[in-house]
Structure 1
Amino acid sequence: MTSSLRRFAPLLALALLLVVPFLATDSYTRHLFIIAFIYAIVAANWNLSLGYCGVFNFGHLTFFGVGVYTAAIAAKTFGITPWLAIPLGGITAAGAAFLIAAPVARLKGIYVVLVTFAVSQLAMQLVLSQSQITGGGEGMVRIPFLQLGDYSFIRDFKFGYYYVALGLLVLSTLFLRFVVQSPFGKALLAVRDAQDYSTARGISVSRQRILVLVLSAIFTGIAGGFYAIYLRVASPEVFGFGTMSLVLSMVLLGGVGTLYGPIAAALALTFLTEALAGIQGFEEARFIVVAVVMVLILRLAPGGLVSLLDRLRPSRPAS
């Protein structure tokens, strides 16, 4: 991929996504795009801590779940408008990230994985135990939907929801782009690649880890809030291993430490799994097929889809 094409590829992709609702007028296709956008936000922000800082945080879906239940409780129980409940999910997720980051900031390797995964399971058990607030195992249903004046977003075959989801994805991507290109982002790479050297240069590893976990939780929580308002359901399944493994697959398949890789992988995996589900005989085996495809791609290109595209670019002739 040439440098000029790489520069304009995101803008071209955005232009194509902007016209999708006019080409795909059925609500099912638009729904798939909306879900893919949500997963793309979660995967890309997880990649900020995992790929750019090297923090093996397996509790990232906790931030998503916190956003889901914050928006659901705020909108349904307290009557807060969904437009405010969605960003409120990001605020509470960032607060939860700070509480999680504090004890794991000085841990390394497998200990970070164990502690963060344990926290995610603890959050799920907390949701299940507080059934009078969260609905327990049955979750919360009939959460208020978005409205803008007299316009209801549950009409028009998800037309309005599509652009809200796409707008959140664009804002999240711009936010991540700003972070990774800032001096703070360069310090994250230093912590990831040469922790002892970065410490010797005066970079606080604990501070970087705490900040990156908090920053990665903001749009993850916002995506969770939108997820609850869009589907009008809050279920403890958002903390489950299935959701975590799916989003982690998007990070790995797209390319760890890349900005747009997880977004592309989220779109690809969402539509691939749904396409296989529509083929007779693949309803149960579709995830096996997806796993095989992932293994092949990671075997051929350990850096994910982004590195695979770089390999396919024509080589320059020798001068």
Structure 2
Amino acid sequence: MTKKQRLCGLAALVILALAPLVVTDSYTRHVFIIAFIYATIAANWDLSLGFGGLFNFGHLAFFGIGVYTAAMLTSHLDMSPWLAIFAGGITAAVSALLISLPVARLKGIYVVLVTFAFGQLCMQIVLSQGDLTGGAEGLVRLPYLKLGSYSFIRDYKLGYYYVSLAMLTVSVIVLLFAAKSSFGRSLRAVRDNPEYAMSRGISVARQRVLVLVASAVFTGVAGGFYAIYLRVASPEVFGFSLGTLILSMVLIGGAGSILGPVFAALALTFATEAMAGMRGFEEARFIIVALAMIFVLRLAPGGAISIFSRLSKRQNNT
């Protein structure tokens, strides 16, 4: 990541941190919170897809597992919502370890099929175990976050806004460090030339296991926070439409960039919410997102962030 990109990222963080001082209505803050959650999932998905070259649909399952972990722990065991959110990251990482063992030696479409089937299996378990998961109705009226006597439910979503922003920020920082480390370099070697990577002593199977587990942690945390924030857990979190939307954020933003999917998640979340409120666009919004993805990938296979990189290089050259 260049110095200019780091400055842009820092400037964006400052603007987002100051935004609640200007944006005071609950609905706009709500859209920001959902965008931060989606951005966290998209950035972590990018680690396995963009850097590891592992095209999978497992991240939607990891997110759903985080959702139901937090929901069941707070509903049935009265666990603190704060602890339940982090427990979502642990269970998502464990599930990623289990699914990565058969996936590690698979290639191409078989990885997609196995990880997609895993997500569908999770949904069927949720639907069949109604005593624990609430079945098709889900779990509702989950406890909300509190800090001492301070209640997050009465501050027009200000507390949830900063918690979600902090979650996204920490996740992105960890991902950027991972991408620049020897682990990130080995992932790119496995992605670009597996045979060469193996000749240099890099285990392709081991790196695939590690990248799936590493990328599942914050995905599960985001799922846990999602459940506690909305105070509900429903099987819809395993739905295909949500997975395709977040995958669109990764591809439109730019796979292998970390920051690209984050900015794309913010833009697409607000765009889809705006279209949902427009007559005639409620059902067509996902088609529009798909067309936008095709257009961006046709214009710039590296995603929207590669377009900005080209423009900045031209400005520097002139």
After TM superposition, the score normalised by the length of structure 2 is 0.97
Corresponding residue of 2:38: 39
Q: How does 1:132-171 map to 2 (within 5 A)?
A: 132-171=131-170
AA paired with 2:34? I
**Matches of 2:57 and 2:34 in 1, distance apart?**
21
**Partner Cα distance (2:236, 2:296) in 1:** 28
- Correspondence for 2:14: 15
Give the structure 1 partner of residue 292 of structure 2: 293
Which residue in 2 is equivalent to 1:247? Answer: 246
Which residue is 2:220 aligned to?
A: 221
**1:271-310 residue pairs with structure 2 within 5 A?**
271-310=270-309
* 2:193 matches 1:185: no
Deviation at 1:290, TM superposition (A): 2.4
Change (3 A) 1:145 1:194: same
> 2 CA distance for matches of 1:137 and 1:205?
39
> How far apart, CA to CA, are the structure 2 residues paired with 1:316 and 1:13?
21
Query: Which stretch shifts more, 275-284 or 36-45?
Result: 275-284
Distance 1:165 1:317, change over 3 A: closer
After superposing the two structures, state which structure 1 stretch, 18-27 or 288-297, moved more.
288-297
Moved more, 294-303 or 78-87: 294-303
Deviation string for 1:63-84 (max 9, x for gaps)? 1011000000111110000010
Deviation at 1:308, TM superposition (A): 1.3
**Helix, strand or coil for the counterpart of 2:281?**
coil
CA distance in 1, matches of 2:135, 2:244: 23
Structure 1 residues 237-289: Cα deviation after superposition (integer angstroms, max 9, x where no partner): 11110111111111111101111011001001000111222333322222222
Cα 1:47–1:312 change in 2 (3 A) is same
* Structure 1: 4+ residue segments shifted above 4 A: 315-318
Determine the structure 2 residue equivalent to 1:204.
Answer: 203
Q: Which residue of 2 aligns with 1:175?
A: 174
Find the counterpart in structure 1 of residue 110 from structure 2: 111
Q: CA deviation at 1:4?
A: 4.0
Amino acid paired to 1:183: S
Which letter does structure 2 place at the counterpart of 1:239?
Answer: F
- Give, in whole Å, the separation in 1 of the partners of 2:126 and 2:316: 57
More off after superposition, 51-60 vs 229-238 = 51-60
8 Å CA contact retained: 2:248, 2:289: no
**Structure 1 CA distance, aligned partners of 2:31 and 2:282?**
17
Name the residue aligned to 1:96.
Answer: 95
Which runs of 5 or more residues in structure 2 are unaligned? none
Segments of structure 1 that go 5 or more residues without pairing to the other structure are: none
Following TM superposition, by how much is the alpha carbon of 1:296 offset from its aligned partner in structure 2, in angstroms?
1.6
Q: Which amino acid aligns with 2:161?
A: Y
Q: Post-superposition shift, 1:297?
A: 1.6
Look up the equivalent residue of 1:115 and give its one-letter code. Answer: V
Q: Which moved more, 1:297-306 or 1:202-211?
A: 297-306
Question: In structure 2, what is the Cα distance between the partners aligned to 1:304 and 1:199?
Answer: 29
CA distance in structure 1 between the aligned counterparts of 2:79 and 2:60, rounded to whole angstroms? 24
1:48 equivalent in alignment to 2:83:
no
Q: Could you state the TM-score of these two structures normalised by the residue count of structure 1?
A: 0.97
Aligned AA (2:204): V
Match of 2:167, SS state, is: helix
How far is 1:317 from its partner?
Answer: 4.8
AA aligned to 1:200 is: S
* Map of 1:123 onto structure 2: 122
The one-letter code of the counterpart of 1:211 is: L
Partner amino acid, structure 1, of 2:278: I
Name 1:80's counterpart in structure 2. 79
Q: What code does the residue aligned with 2:144 have?
A: F
